[in-house]
Amino acid sequence: MGRAPCCDKASVKRGPWSPEEDTKLKEYIEKHGTGGNWIALPQKAGLKRCGKSCRLRWLNYLRPNIKHGEFSDEEDRIICSLYANIGSRWSIIAAQLPGRTDNDIKNYWNTKLKKKLMALLPHHHQQNPPSSFFPYSSSSLQTTDDNNHHYYYYNTSAAGASTIPPTMSFTAVPPPPPSTTTSYYYNYTTATNTAAASSIMSLPFYQNQEQEHYHTQQQPLLISPMQLQQYYPMFGSEGSCSSSDGSCSYGGNKEIKKEEMMGFHHHHDEEGVIIMGCQGEEGINQWTEKLDKWLGGGNPLDYDLEVIKQLVISSNDGLFSVDENKTQEGMMMNKSIYKVL
DNA sequence: AACGGAATCAACCGCAATCTG
DNA sequence: TCAGATTGCGGTTGATTCCGT
């Protein structure tokens, strides 16, 4: 037996709501509540509408304290930061924006905010977008900066998670190393639960346009450890680093001695990627110092802008032509990277 | 003024999760 | 425990408005 339709489509009204229908629905709910049963509500309220339609109309338009109109810069920042961390889970994002509905935010993102961010992108990115499915798939991302430096990323978030996963991580993968060298990756672990995720809302996500081209080949495009500690206090992972010669190289041209990695939490994940982390003020300071040494500094706030840009251009929504060859190339690159670990 | 394409956004659709008897 | 009912969500559609020519 198939699923019963939620209502008889032939006998219910569809399309835009009239002011009279709005009034009926509003008055009924204000007087009786929803009764926990949207399916039965339209009949009780004297509406020839599907229960689903009533629910949508109430939640998106009629309920009290709905905010309409322009989104503020702060709201933009919140949306972008959350999108960068949890993807297109509009209901969760909407929960952080009082008065905004998931539908509103979704529409705003798809029609305006995404384009706004795209406008900040370097031209070549728009012409040759990298392929990825950040943040909830296990796939690679390749991109190229203005100096024709190549970057490879690997997202280690759980694929297909229906709720915020216990941990989310994003690993920046430097360019493939020479075949004889062990590669070094580093990783930032983020939110542990919805409460932690909600703290993302104040995460600064971008700086002005002038700052967007700062990075060099040695700088993965991520938020800084300082930011991480500020917003994700639980940051850190456990384990130990081991490799055949006790050292790791970064980007194929920077050797990181095993001793230098001591003092940080580090381990290989199931894919063989070295995950590093730190805890406490001292750990953060050490981490920052090491990163400066390993990576050559840079403005940490710019990391977010790049992450969000990658999200925008990788949304795979048909706005951009995805080069399948590059996708495959990126995947193969990552596989080859794992092999040398 | 007329037309066509782009932009906007309310509403719908289908699926998965959750609830309930 | 299970099947059907209901809810909630994200993707998509299509009517309307806007804007450039």
Which band of pLDDT confidence, cut at 50, 70 and 90, is reported for residue A69?
confident
In window 9-38 of A, residues with CB < 7 A from nucleic chain B are 9, 14-17, 36
Q: What's the CA–C1' distance between A3 and B15, in Å?
A: 12
Q: Which residue is nearest to nucleotide B11 (CA to C1')?
A: A15
Minimum CA–C1' distance nucleotide for A56: B11
Q: With a 7 Å cutoff on the CB, does A162 touch strand B?
A: yes
Which band of pLDDT confidence, cut at 50, 70 and 90, is reported for residue A37?
confident
pLDDT of A61? 92
What is the average pLDDT across A66-95?
87
pLDDT tens per residue across span A130-184: 333 233 222 233 333 333 333 333 333 322 222 222 222 333 333 232 222 222 2
HEC per residue, chain A: CCCCCCCCCCCCCCCCCCHHHHHHHHHHHHHHCCCCCCCCHHHHHCCCCCHHHHHHHHHHHHCCCCCCCCCCHHHHHHHHHHHHHHCCCHHHHHHCCCCCCHHHHHHHHHHHHHHHHHCCCCHHHHHCCCCCCCCCCCCEEEEECCCCCEEEEEECCCCCCCCCCCCCEEEEECCCCCCCCCECCEEEECCCCHHHHHHHHHCCCCCCHHHCCCCCCCCCCCCCHHHHHHHCCCCCCCCCCCCCCCEEEECCCEEEEHHHHCCCEEEECCCCCEEEECCHHHHHHHHHHHHHHHHCCCCCHHHHHHHHHHHHHCCCCCCCCCCHHHHHHHHHHHHHHHHHC
Q: Is the CB of A52 under 7 A from strand B?
A: yes
Which protein residue's Cα is closest to nucleotide C11 at C1'?
A: A106
Nucleotide nearest to A92 (CA to C1'): C9
What pLDDT sits at residue A144?
36
- Distance (Å) from CA A73 to C1' C10? 24
For strand B, is any atom closer than 7 Å to the CB of A112?
Answer: yes
> Residue A2 CA to C1 C1' — how many Å?
20
- Whether the per-residue pLDDT at A41 is higher than 70: the answer is yes
Residue A104 CB in 7 A reach of strand B: yes
Report the pLDDT value the prediction gives residue A310, as an integer from 0 to 100: 58
Protein-contacted positions of strand C (CB under 7 Å): 3-12, 15
C1’ B18 / CA A36, Å: 14
The bases of strand B with some atom under 7 A from any protein CB are 7-14, 16-17, 20
